[in-house]
Structures are given as structure tokens and as C-alpha cells.
Amino acid sequence: MPSSEHHAPPLLQARGLRFTRNDDPVFGPLDFAVDAGEALLVQGDNGAGKTTLLRVLAGLLRAEEGAIELDGHPSDPARRARAITYLGHLPGLKADLSAMENLDFLCGLQGRRRSQLPSNALAIVGLAGYEDALARQLSAGQKKRLSLARLWMSPAPLWLLDEPYANLDLEGIELVNRMVQAHLREGGAALVTTHGAYAAPPVRTRLLVMEKAA
């Protein structure tokens, strides 16, 4: 653990991050940092570039310019695999596997927090009793909840959450906020995109407002 006089680098730092698509500017340059125990709310209208930013941070798209550091080191595939878990718009589930098989499969790919059992994670997200249901038989909200169970199992400290409230009922929105709170209490961090329509998680929050590039 770092001593009090040694200031740990942010979990995530972006400097001068700029993204263009076919020479059209999408966002940036952006500068921001997220420390352990913090959330960064990424706010902006439809098309402002929130999803693009998260995909750049997750290593799925390449920025035109700028630098990304994870824990004080340049972001590279191995560091991203250890540090980041990405919850995108699509649930990323295998339609013909059951809820439990999906979770086992994803834990096999990404590792899991030692203290967590997949069955507990399913119960936490309200899917107790759905262990054997095929993913394609789940509702949109239940699929989202299954993705949240995968998130809960992930050992990565940095959560990139693209509109995590989409398709969730009020209780599901509160579930997301409780999960983010618990994750931050354990020293994690989260980037959360939002249109501002839902209550943000009640945690230490920084704000990044994105506007459509001119």
C-alpha cells in the first residue's frame, strides 16, 4: 500500500486525447484523470462521443493523438486486460448458453475476484432462479443484469460503463449505483456515461462534459 506521503498515480489518466473518424473530429483534445475511489461521469448528448471515448480507453479504437496511462504506466494490451473491464451497449453474451454458463465462460476469459462465486453474483443482480435460463430467453433488462453480474465478478479495478442504466427498472438503477459504490469503497474506479437523465451514483465524482466536435 502507498504511504500517506507518497501520492499514488491516478488509476487512469488521459492527456490531449483526440479522436477523428475519416478526418472528422469526434472529440478532444481531452484531459482527465480518475483516482482510485472515484467515479468520472462522462456526460453528453447523443452523438457527443461518449461511447467512442470508452472504446478508445478500452483499446477497441485508436486515438488520433494523446496519451493514456493506467496506474502511471502507458496503456498497453496487457495492462488494459488487467486493469479494465468494459460494459458496452451490447450485453456480449452467448445466446445459446445459460446465464450461469455465460458467467462461467466470461470468468474463464477474464478471471474473477477470488471471494465471489458466480451463483452469488447472479443473486446480487436479481437473477437467482435464472441460472439455467438461456441468455436468448432473457429480457433486455435481465441481459443487462447478467452483464452486471459479469462486471461484479471481474477482478479489474477500472470499470468502463457505457450507459449502465439502459434497459433497467428503478430497482436496477439503484443496483448499479450500489455496485459502483461498493467497487469504489474497495479502491476501484468507474467511468460512467450518461445523458444526465438518471441519478448519478452517490460517490466521489468528477465530471467530464462532452460536446459534439465542430
Ligand X SMILES: Nc1ncnc2c1ncn2[C@@H]1O[C@H](COP(=O)(O)OP(=O)(O)OP(=O)(O)O)[C@@H](O)[C@H]1O
**Residue from 51, 120, 181, 205 binding ligand X (CB under 6 A):** 51
Q: How far is the CB of 57 from ligand X (least distance, A)?
A: 12
66: helix, strand or coil: strand
If binding is defined by CB under 6 A, does position 52 make contact with ligand X? yes
Handedness of CA 141, 145, 146, 150 (dihedral sign): positive
Residue 87 phi/psi, 5° resolution?
A: -110, 105
Are 152 and 179 a contacting pair, CB within 8 Å? Answer: yes
If binding is defined by CB under 6 A, does position 28 make contact with ligand X? no
Q: Nearer Cβ to ligand X, position 51 or 120?
A: 51
Q: How far is the CB of 135 from ligand X (least distance, A)?
A: 23
**Residue from 14, 17, 26, 158 binding ligand X (CB under 6 A):** 26
Single-letter residue type at 80: R
Part of the chain binding ligand X (CB under 6 A), chosen from 3-11, 43-51, 106-114, 135-143: 43-51
Are 160 and 121 a contacting pair, CB within 8 Å? Answer: no
d(CA 211, CA 30): 11
Part of the chain binding ligand X (CB under 6 A), chosen from 8-16, 42-50, 129-137, 196-204: 42-50
Q: Nearer Cβ to ligand X, position 30 or 106?
A: 30
**Cβ within 8 Å of residue 161, ≥6 positions away:** 87, 151, 176, 180, 190, 191, 192, 193
Residues near ligand X (CB under 6 A), total: 11
Q: How far is the CB of 194 from ligand X (least distance, A)?
A: 9
If binding is defined by CB under 6 A, does position 73 make contact with ligand X? no
CB atoms within 10 A of CB 194: 20
Residues that bind ligand X in the complex, under the rule CB under 6 A: 21, 26, 44, 46-52, 195
